[in-house]
């Protein structure tokens, strides 16, 4: 059975389309999307790279139930799709709110999509999408001579939207009853259908996973290449000293515990480094990403991956700062943490000043050539890095809970103000404050990489290039 097809857009792309497709005259309008993709074994994920509006005056007919245009207008667009092997998706509006494809749509798509398939030549899926006045969307692709529904269309903006081709008519399990009192059945259903990646299975990762499972999330991909050690049993939920003695992989310990809970979440443990090609391919098929690690290069990689594949990225950072020596040794100066929500096409961890590309390069050197890294540190080319950082389970769990609540606030908006005001949320237990900052600038490094999808090398990074024997 072929993998299910999904389509993802950034919040800015969705807002542009909604404005263009509904100009206020009550007539249909149309645009062409050029999409990258993640051609995976679990999902075939289409990601919007470019939007090409077909001007209203270039349409041969626009009515409340019909829009037509000359195929000549999209010749250059199809040539681009051919040259770069991009998927082509037609999107048009139904200003009357008709929530399915019309017979006119069926007839037009049956002619258009095979024509596009023949023009572009590469073995790609092409499709058609409809947007309704409230911004909701549904769609289909042309595969094996017929139409196949796009299983899910997602929008990653200040809020998170997921529209599914069919309803889940199965009865809600009893354990979600209390959740349903706070969130509607639609939100519970979306949680049950989501695939979420959690990168890092230690101090913040393990409580994030615990919460997601008990919220009823459908699938969790857990990534960590480390084994349990005695020094981190103090903060990894469900770990034991026996696990440390047996050097069990963290992901296996957590996967076993989550399956034992028995709430139906599918757990996919990956005992690999984030910089492994298999991990990048697995994570890029998910719907949401939580980053629960403190390495600079890993966070940069996740930020890049989320941009290329249009994924919402929740980054968790915890800091405990104590006096290390002198008369006040051990005095706590700060206990704090920050949850950064990264939406593709806007600011990044780099543009927010969390780290620089020089630090990313230094971390990469340390990972790939420790000796060279040590020499450069000795020679003063690289600033010193902190060793094992202090960790307290209660602080980690505070940060993990804040991150999951941030996710829920965007899946089911409940704040008094727009989520745009909460691009980052910081807590300080030293001053007992909760601070937040709004979304501001566009990242100069990643701003133009939204929806690029699969590349060679992956994410445009030489370290993720295919290695061939010569």
How high is the pLDDT of residue 381? 43
How high is the pLDDT of residue 167? 77
442 vs 50: CA distance, rounded Å: 17
Number of H helices, E strands in the chain: 13, 19
Q: CA angle, corner 273, sides to 269 and 277, nearest 5?
A: 90
130 vs 201: CA distance, rounded Å: 40
How high is the pLDDT of residue 333? 80
**Helix, strand, or coil here: 185?**
helix
Range list of H helices, 48-123: 75-84, 103-120
Q: Which class would CATH give 174-355+389-464? A: alpha beta
For the chain, list residues with pLDDT below 50: 373, 377, 379-387, 468-470
pLDDT digits (tens, 9 = 90+) for 143-181: 999 999 999 999 999 999 999 998 776 677 777 766 666
Say how far residue 66 (Cα) sits from the centre of its chain. 35
Using an 8 Å Cβ cutoff, are 81 and 43 in contact? no
469 vs 306: CA distance, rounded Å: 30
Q: Got the DSSP string for 117-171?
A: HHHH-SS--EEEEEE-TTS-EEEEEEETTEEEE-SEEEEESSSEEEEESS---SP
Residue for token pair 């949320």: 425
How high is the pLDDT of residue 85? 95
239 vs 203: CA distance, rounded Å: 11
How high is the pLDDT of residue 372? 56
Q: Is the dihedral of CA 404, 405, 407, 411 positive or negative?
A: positive
Q: Which class would CATH give 4-164? A: alpha beta
Q: Which residues of the chain are in CATH 3.40.140.10 domains?
A: 4-164
Q: How many C-beta atoms lie closer than 10 Å to residue 150's C-beta?
A: 24
How high is the pLDDT of residue 328? 66
Residue 470: exposed, middle, or buried by beta-carbon count in 10 A (0-12, 13-18, 19+)? Answer: exposed
Q: Which strands sit side by side in the sheet containing 126-131, from one edge to the other?
A: 146-149, 137-143, 126-131, 87-93, 30-39, 43-53, 4-10, 152-156, 160-164
Cross-strand partners of 106: none
Q: Which residues of the chain are in CATH 3.40.50.720 domains?
A: 174-355+389-464
How high is the pLDDT of residue 250? 98
- Total count of residues recorded for the chain: 470
How high is the pLDDT of residue 2? 85
Burial code of 407-421, b = ≥16 C-beta within 10 A, e = fewer?
A: bbbbbbeeeeeebee
pTM for the whole structure: 0.93
274 vs 280: CA distance, rounded Å: 7
24 vs 62: CA distance, rounded Å: 13
Query: What is the token pair recorded at 60?
Result: 């041969």
């Amino acid at each position: 059975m072929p993998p299910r097809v999904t389509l993802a857009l950034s919040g800015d792309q969705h807002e542009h389309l909604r404005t263009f497709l509904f100009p206020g005259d009550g007539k249909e309008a149309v645009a062409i999307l050029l999409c990258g993709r993640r051609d995976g074994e679990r999902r075939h994920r289409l990601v919007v790279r470019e939007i090409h509006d077909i001007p209203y005056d270039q349409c041969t007919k626009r009515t409340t139930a019909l829009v037509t245009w000359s195929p000549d207008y999209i010749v250059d667009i199809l040539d681009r799709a051919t040259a770069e092997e991009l998927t082509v998706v037609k999107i048009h509006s139904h200003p009357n709110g008709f929530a399915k494809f019309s017979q006119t749509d069926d007839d037009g798509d049956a002619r258009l999509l095979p024509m596009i398939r023949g023009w572009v030549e590469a073995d790609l899926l092409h499709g058609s999408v409809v947007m309704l006045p409230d911004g909701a969307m549904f769609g289909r692709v042309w595969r094996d001579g017929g139409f196949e529904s796009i299983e899910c269309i997602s929008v990653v903006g200040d809020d998170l939207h997921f529209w599914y081709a069919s309803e889940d008519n199965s009865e809600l399990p009893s354990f979600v009853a209390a959740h349903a009192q706070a969130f509607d059945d639609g939100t519970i259903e979306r949680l049950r259908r989501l695939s979420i990646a959690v990168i890092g299975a230690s101090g913040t990762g393990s409580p994030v996973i615990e919460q997601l499972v008990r919220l009823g999330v459908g699938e969790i991909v857990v990534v960590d290449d480390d084994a349990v050690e005695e020094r981190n049993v103090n903060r990894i939920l469900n770990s034991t000293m026996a696990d440390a003695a047996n050097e069990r992989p963290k992901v296996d310990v957590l996967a076993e515990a989550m399956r034992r809970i028995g709430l139906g979440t599918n757990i996919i443990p990956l005992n690999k480094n984030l910089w492994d090609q298999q991990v990048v391919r697995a994570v890029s098929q998910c719907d949401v990403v939580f980053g629960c690690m403190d390495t600079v290069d890993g966070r940069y990689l996740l930020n890049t991956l989320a941009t290329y594949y249009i994924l919402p990225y929740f980054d968790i950072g915890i800091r405990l700062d104590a006096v290390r020596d002198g008369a006040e040794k051990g005095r706590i100066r700060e206990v704090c943490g920050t949850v950064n929500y990264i939406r593709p096409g806007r600011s990044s961890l780099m543009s927010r000043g969390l780290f620089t590309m020089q630090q990313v390069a230094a971390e990469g050197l340390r990972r790939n050539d420790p000796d060279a890294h040590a020499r450069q540190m000795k020679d003063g080319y690289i600033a010193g890095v902190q060793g094992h950082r202090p960790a307290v389970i209660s602080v980690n769990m505070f940060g993990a809970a804040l991150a999951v609540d941030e996710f829920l606030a965007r899946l089911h908006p409940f704040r008094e103000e727009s989520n745009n005001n909460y691009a980052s949320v910081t807590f300080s237990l030293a001053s007992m404050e909760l601070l937040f900052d709004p979304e501001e600038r566009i990242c100069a490094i990643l701003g133009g990489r939204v929806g690029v999808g699969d590349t060679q090398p992956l994410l445009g990074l030489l370290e993720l290039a295919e290695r061939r024997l010569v």
